[in-house]
Structure 1
Amino acid sequence: MTAPLVALAHDRPRTEIGYRAVAVAFDARFYRAVYTDLPAGMDALWHYRMAGEGEGRDPAPWFSTEAYRRDHPDVAEAEGGPFAHYLLEGRFQGREIAASPHAWAYLDASGWTPPAWQGDGRRDWQGRHRGAVGAVAASLSDQRAVVGADFDAAYYLAVNPDIAASGMDPLDHFLRTGWREGRDPAPRFSVRDYLEAHPDVAASGLNPFVHYVMAGRAEGRAAKIDLGFRYEILSRARPAADRLADARNTAARLRPDAPERLAEGLGRLRDLHVTFSHDDYVRNSGGLQACVRRESAGFAAAGVAHLHLYPASPWPMVRAADEPGLLGVLLDGASLGVHPPSAVARALAEAVTTRGRRTFAVHSLLGHDADDAADILAAAGLSAGFFWLHDFASLCAGVHLVRNDVEDCGAPPSDSPACGVCDYGPFRARHEAAHRRLFERLALTVVAPSQVTLDFWRARSGLPAKGAVVLPHAALTSRTGGGRPRAGVFRTAFLGMPAALKGWPVFRDLAQGFADDPRYDFVHLGGRPDPAAPADFHPVVVSAEQPLAMRDAVEALDVDVALIWPLCRETFSFTAYEAAAGGAAVVTGPDSGNVAAFAASGRGVVLPDETALAEAFASGEIIRRVRGGGRAGGGGLFDLAFSGMTADLIGKGVR
């Protein structure tokens, strides 16, 4: 969907600007009532533009064409006519206008009593008219006065850090240029939506927020297209094909480092563990990256070198053989540059010794070609290893199994109609074929972080795995402190980055809906705030140095419940465990994978859908279920014992 922002008034020829301004301010009802000689069925505006204006007819009760020409002879022949001149220039120049001589009769007949006439019969219509002309007429200072109470300066600065850094007055920036750039003045008003929903406003070149406050709100116009956050995601989504094209273009511009850097960096390798993932786990943070870091630390403790391979530029899916792609190479966390897969294979073959402990784990095949990966492993003398289910990339290019990024799909058969309407459908065969080649060339033991994930994968996948095992990323262990009594305001938290996939829009809408309810308090614990949600933000970043930062924040803020409502089937969910360890219950939906299984085990509440979630808060049922004890969980305090990932499996003799 393309917003009409590119078609605003300042980008149009002046005659068209004038025509559209007249179209918005023109009062067709008045024109028809006064000029009864219009042929039946003829459009009033068309008649005015083609004949009426030249005949001196008036376009609205508050504007006299004859008086404007008489009082301002210098604009008698203005381009576009006197009405257009007034709307585009005269009002800014302070030129006076007179009411139409037909105004009284029309107003009396319509049953509407106007404000008192001023002085010699002229009337100050500017800023009083309920229609769009009020917004047309308002000067910048008038606009400030009109929208000042509705403009959310804190929100504007928070979502526009460039404006905050500049020191500019946020309202002044919005009124002058911000709205033309599509920047929103408040969480519940969308410039883009308003212009799309009301093309007459878009055509006029008016500031949409000024129009809304002065006229649109009273007219019942929608401030935002309220079709739910899923529509919001769809309207802003970039097709998978476009993202793939971007990845190809970026990769084609990369240049490899000298092969000598790789050979020198590798040296001679005896004991070695090789991993594959979708990015650099040292420079990026997230659940998968934390897992690789812990795995690397586990092997380091055992005296084993860790070689990590990842696509040098981001890729949205597996890489085909004919697509360009260099690999980033890390040895024990230190970069050895970026190199072609074939160069990595050659260097690795030369670096490994004839004896030594060598293992591997595939954490993600995104950005990798399956045959390149198998060739690299073969060069190190490896054929049997582990394949982790951090997501469901082995089933589809939509690695989270979220159809069009908005709805759980459950991985139906690839020839199903459901795949035919999904953006990822055309690329599903690519992922299935790539993973099948990998599983056929290697003896892979599948590792799932939860039983529910392994059960689901087995039911949907026909890949020839050597075996399968469940190893959770973390486990709750007992801690002194016990339960805590719950009383007072019920505190609901969102943990992590405000990402749609993780359910941020659900939390945002809930916080907005109950912002004024004295029973509830909302907090956001994460690395980046989003002022669209009326929630207290507390910066919390989990790191290798502070692995329990989120758990400690949940405990310190006395959180009752963590809303963990992802759009996807979570294979594990660290945030669910962190919430429980900090004494909070978990509330989630039925399609959240291991989150739902975790909550149902006595750690929280599983609700049927978002409507049920809102109803539980409206009725207070959520308070009763969480604070009433029983299987809703919450209140207990725990430590978190983190897994060493593949290092733990090797240590236990799993092969």
Structure 2
Amino acid sequence: MAAALDRSLLVLGPAVDVAFYGATYPDLAATGVDLLVHYAQAGWREGRDPAPWFSTTGYLERYPDVAEGGANPLYHYLAMGRREGREAVPSAQALAYLEARKLARDGKADIPVTAADRALAATEFDAAFYLFNNPDVAAAGQDPLDHFLQRGWKEGRDPSRDFSLADYLELNPDVAAAGVQPFVHYLSQGRREGRVAIRRLGFRHDAVARLRPLQERLADCEVWARAVDLSPAEELAAGLAESRSGRRALHITFSHDNYAAVVGGVQASVQREAQRFAELGRDHLHIYPASPWPIVATGLSGPPLGVLWNGVKLGAFAPPALIEGLRGALADWGDGERSFAIHSMLGHSSREVIDVVRIAGAQAGCYWTHDFTSLCAGIHLLRNDIEDCGAPPPGSPACGICLYGPYRALHIAEHTRLFRHLDLTVVSPSQAAMDTWRAGSDLDAVDTRVLPLARLVPGRARPRPPTPGPFRFAFPGTPSLHKGWPIFRDLAIRFEKDPRYVFLHLGKTPMPGLPLEHHAVSATARKPMAMRDALRRLEIDAAMIWSLCRETFSLTAYEAAAAGAAIVTGPDSGNIAAFTREGGHGLVLPDEAALFAMFESGEILRLARARRAPPLYDLEFSNLTADLIAETAA
């Protein structure tokens, strides 16, 4: 029990605001109890809030599955909820606490907002934007404008996508010193005076400004790793006792996460590989870091490793315990088929992988280049997460200005040892990925192969006459920086009132305050064609798949082509550009300026379905390593 509490406090400690907790609940402060321990053991059960930004009851009400599971809601949010895209709900006590602190600090009362101020603010206040970004306001049924004018601006909440409180106050210290309402000040006089409402230095500048050193990210991951419950080697040996092959045939995979629990293109592909080996009656051992890990590990001191055995989770083990458990479990296995595939080395060390493979009685296997982990800690080859670097020679000046530079030598050294001790065939999901790997690596592979994750095959469906209307331009997938979302966002804003265009986002999570349609789409193992079907159903004319990084495959590009949508991409998108260019599936433009110019002139309209009459396709998916083994056997 004490150990469990210690692990809980490691995670909760940095997040619980004891000053807020003590001020909000003076009954506890008077007892002299340790406030952090109190929240961890009893406070959350009593509905007390640990910090201004987190409501215990609000989180449980929003996510009833957490409430049913009986977990401490703050611990759940920190350990897994935020990685799952769940959102924290601010405490209802936050306003009083923050106002009290402000008054104590400033020694003065706030200047009231007049009816005239409210009417002026209403002319440009974006209520939908505000409510989406502040679900606590929506849940409380408060008027969003009143909330912003009275409280929200003091808490740093922006009134629209075109006004930044932080920027305005930083650029105008006289306004900050006066304590006046910044948004009202801008509308009433700041704009006339030429003051800037929001700095528009481009999304790359903003991304660099938000960059966190890799050391800080690694430190966070170490905290999560210490909180993982570890199992002893004996439990691993017991779990591996059940065999569907009669202890003869075994396939081992290494990856960066639990493919059975995480949705994604690579994860879905590994699921298909696992399913195919199950059909062949071969046992399957999958090893992955039990909590996210951003770089390779070294020796046997890496993060805890999760284990799946024939699709069943056996637990998490320290690397030495994993090795010990495997030695015991596989000692009496007879001769038979052995294979392995390395899908990612993130969270793994070369020693761990070599030991596991040799204990299993294997030597030759596949190394997949789903990303470029073997070339750099920046697995997408994006310098500082914003610009393609092309994997320059190690130690080059370009590496010296990149946050991943200090860890590049570690990645190369671990992979050099791996390739020296194992007979590895490098398999790339595209020729573009293989070309990049060959140009940037001198690793000694026994062979190289290209095996796409999917291919287009003629479909049974026939195109239907497109519905008349504006050009339908879509962004399919996760709205992330390296997928080019900021470019699409700016495009939608620029041409918001242009009747020639409609902008749509097809993905799991909607984005607030933008002039576009959102359609919830999420491809899963059970619905692998969900994105293709949505693109087809919505009659998307063209899809923007503008990755900033060298995509090694991009299932989204294949889904768009299969649905009859033209692909619009940039020059640094790797296999997206190659697939688009070689198959005649759309346009590869030289830069973002060319994209905006095509919308300005209307030239983009030549990609409309009505003009192209595109064919429709089905997708045939690969079983990855299982297909390669079957091909070799044949």
1:608 paired with 2:608, answer: no
Partner residue, 2:24 = none
RMSD between aligned residues: 2.2
1:330 paired residue among 295, 305, 308: 308
Please state whether the residue corresponding to 1:392 is helix, strand or coil: coil
Q: Which runs of 5+ in 1 are unaligned?
A: 1-7, 19-87, 93-136
- Cα 1:374/1:615, change in 2 over 3 Å: same
1:150 paired with 2:120, answer: no
Larger Rg: 1
Q: After alignment, is 539-548 or 323-332 more displaced?
A: 323-332
Partner residue, 2:269 = 291
1:490 paired residue among 471, 474, 486: 471
How many Å separate the matches in 1 of 2:378 and 2:599?
33
CA contact (8 A) 1:568 1:593 kept: yes
Instruction: Report how far residue 510 of structure 1 moved.
Output: 0.5
Partner residue, 2:623 = 644
Partner residue, 1:425 = 405
1:554 paired with 2:535, answer: yes
How many Å separate the matches in 2 of 1:509 and 1:532?
12
- Cα 1:603/1:625, change in 2 over 3 Å: same
- Cα 1:254/1:482, change in 2 over 3 Å: closer
Q: After alignment, is 316-325 or 509-518 more displaced?
A: 316-325
1:183 paired with 2:157, answer: yes
Q: Pairwise mapping of residues 273-352 of structure 1 onto structure 2 (< 5 A)? A: 273-321=251-299, 323-352=301-330
Which one-letter code corresponds to 2:553 in the other structure?
F
Q: Pairwise mapping of residues 483-562 of structure 1 onto structure 2 (< 5 A)? A: 483=463, 485=465, 487-562=468-543
Q: Pairwise mapping of residues 584-603 of structure 1 onto structure 2 (< 5 A)? A: 584-601=565-582, 602-603=584-585
Instruction: Report how far residue 17 of structure 1 moved.
Output: 4.7
How many Å separate the matches in 1 of 2:316 and 2:603?
55
- Cα 1:245/1:142, change in 2 over 3 Å: same
How many Å separate the matches in 2 of 1:262 and 1:141?
68
Please state whether the residue corresponding to 1:652 is helix, strand or coil: helix
User: What does the per-residue CA deviation read over 1:522-551, in whole Å, with 9 as the maximum and x for residues that have no partner?
Assistant: 011000011243110000010111111100
Partner residue, 2:603 = 621
Instruction: Report how far residue 443 of structure 1 moved.
Output: 0.8
Which one-letter code corresponds to 2:286 in the other structure?
H
Please state whether the residue corresponding to 1:545 is helix, strand or coil: coil
Which one-letter code corresponds to 1:417 in the other structure?
P
1:354 paired with 2:334, answer: yes
Q: Which runs of 5+ in 2 are unaligned?
A: 1-97
1:208 paired residue among 154, 179, 182: 182
Which one-letter code corresponds to 1:614 in the other structure?
F
2:421 paired residue among 430, 441, 447: 441
Instruction: Report how far residue 640 of structure 1 moved.
Output: 0.6
Please state whether the residue corresponding to 2:632 is helix, strand or coil: coil
User: What does the per-residue CA deviation read over 1:62-106, in whole Å, with 9 as the maximum and x for residues that have no partner?
Assistant: xxxxxxxxxxxxxxxxxxxxxxxxxx66xx8xxxxxxxxxxxxxx
How many Å separate the matches in 1 of 2:307 and 2:495?
49
How many Å separate the matches in 2 of 1:307 and 1:152?
52
Q: Pairwise mapping of residues 112-261 of structure 1 onto structure 2 (< 5 A)? A: 139=113, 141-261=115-235
User: What does the per-residue CA deviation read over 1:586-642, in whole Å, with 9 as the maximum and x for residues that have no partner?
Assistant: 00000000000111120010111111110011001111255686xxx7722110111
Instruction: Report how far residue 244 of structure 1 moved.
Output: 1.1
- Cα 1:240/1:654, change in 2 over 3 Å: farther
Which one-letter code corresponds to 1:643 in the other structure?
S
How many Å separate the matches in 1 of 2:462 and 2:106?
70
Please state whether the residue corresponding to 1:653 is helix, strand or coil: helix
Instruction: Report how far residue 328 of structure 1 moved.
Output: 0.5
How many Å separate the matches in 2 of 1:422 and 1:438?
25
Instruction: Report how far residue 255 of structure 1 moved.
Output: 4.0
Q: After alignment, is 188-197 or 237-246 more displaced?
A: 188-197
CA contact (8 A) 1:475 1:641 kept: yes
Q: After alignment, is 144-153 or 388-397 more displaced?
A: 144-153
Partner residue, 1:128 = none
Which one-letter code corresponds to 1:647 in the other structure?
A
Which one-letter code corresponds to 1:604 in the other structure?
G
Please state whether the residue corresponding to 2:193 is helix, strand or coil: coil
Q: After alignment, is 234-243 or 468-477 more displaced?
A: 234-243
Instruction: Report how far residue 324 of structure 1 moved.
Output: 4.4
CA contact (8 A) 1:385 1:445 kept: yes
Partner residue, 1:104 = none
Partner residue, 1:34 = none
Instruction: Report how far residue 515 of structure 1 moved.
Output: 0.8
How many Å separate the matches in 1 of 2:248 and 2:184?
70
Partner residue, 1:59 = none
Please state whether the residue corresponding to 1:458 is helix, strand or coil: helix
Instruction: Report how far residue 332 of structure 1 moved.
Output: 2.1
Which one-letter code corresponds to 1:149 in the other structure?
T
- Cα 1:332/1:399, change in 2 over 3 Å: same
Please state whether the residue corresponding to 1:558 is helix, strand or coil: coil
Instruction: Report how far residue 409 of structure 1 moved.
Output: 0.9
How many Å separate the matches in 2 of 1:170 and 1:370?
54
- Cα 1:11/1:440, change in 2 over 3 Å: same
How many Å separate the matches in 1 of 2:633 and 2:194?
66
Instruction: Report how far residue 360 of structure 1 moved.
Output: 0.7
User: What does the per-residue CA deviation read over 1:537-589, in whole Å, with 9 as the maximum and x for residues that have no partner?
Assistant: 00001011111110010011100000011111100001101111111000000
Instruction: Report how far residue 488 of structure 1 moved.
Output: 3.0
Which one-letter code corresponds to 1:579 in the other structure?
A
Instruction: Report how far residue 12 of structure 1 moved.
Output: 6.6
CA contact (8 A) 1:401 1:569 kept: yes
How many Å separate the matches in 2 of 1:354 and 1:202?
75
Which one-letter code corresponds to 2:393 in the other structure?
P
How many Å separate the matches in 1 of 2:103 and 2:152?
22
CA contact (8 A) 2:236 2:326 kept: no
User: What does the per-residue CA deviation read over 1:226-275, in whole Å, with 9 as the maximum and x for residues that have no partner?
Assistant: 01111121122211111012222332343411333212111054322111
Partner residue, 1:579 = 560
CA contact (8 A) 1:197 1:225 kept: no
Please state whether the residue corresponding to 1:568 is helix, strand or coil: coil
Please state whether the residue corresponding to 2:288 is helix, strand or coil: strand
Which one-letter code corresponds to 1:458 in the other structure?
R
Please state whether the residue corresponding to 1:393 is helix, strand or coil: coil
1:381 paired with 2:355, answer: no
How many Å separate the matches in 1 of 2:176 and 2:420?
58
Scaled by the length of structure 1, what TM-score is found?
0.77
